[in-house]
Amino acid sequence: MSDIDEITLRHPTAVDGRHVHALVAANPPLDPNSVYCNLLQCSHFASTAVAAFKGEQMVGFVSGYIPPEQPHVLFVWQLLVDAAGRGQGLAKRLVKAQLNGEACQQVTHIHTTITADNDASWGVFKSLAKEWGAELTHDVYFDKDAHFGGEHDSEHLLEIGPIAR
């Protein structure tokens, strides 16, 4: 049995919020949220989130939501894979599981924001777009100076779609 076969995926529950918080803290330079925010990701947004476990250890997490004005879009809010889950295609598996969930049946496009230097995330989403035969576009969405007061790198809005369902 390979390592990837030992990893199970499921929608998170509120009790997973503190585990998400710890996972983010253990994997800098990810932007930490409050535990309360992670609790909401795992409860209010559970139908558009997926947690990955190797035994009892959370080794990956993806959260997202469907913007009210864009019911065909899944916005991937946060995607992370711990060192214990890396090198096995888990990030792509998490996004695919998220997209294939019941809440995302009307989704034809994926949006997310990524800083220019986040090679791992760019690689995941470029690979998914290629696999799906979907167009990938991006442009600055939140500007370093205008939105972050110079304290955070610009975030590019990456758009993939349409995705054949």
Residue identified by tokens 């864009």 is: 70
pLDDT of residue 1: 39
> Which residues 6+ apart lie within 8 Å of 100 measured at CB?
none
For the whole model, what pTM was predicted? 0.92
The number of CA neighbours under 13 Å toward the Cβ of 80 is 20
Indicate the pairing of strand 155-161 with strand 7-10: unpaired
> Mind listing the pLDDT tens digit of every residue in the chain (165 residues)?
356 568 999 999 999 999 999 999 998 878 888 999 999 999 999 999 999 999 999 999 999 999 999 999 999 999 999 988 888 899 999 999 999 999 999 999 999 999 999 999 999 999 999 999 999 999 999 999 999 999 999 999 999 999 987
pLDDT of residue 81: 95
**Encoded tokens for 95:** 């996004």
136 and 121 Cβ atoms separated by less than 8 Å = no
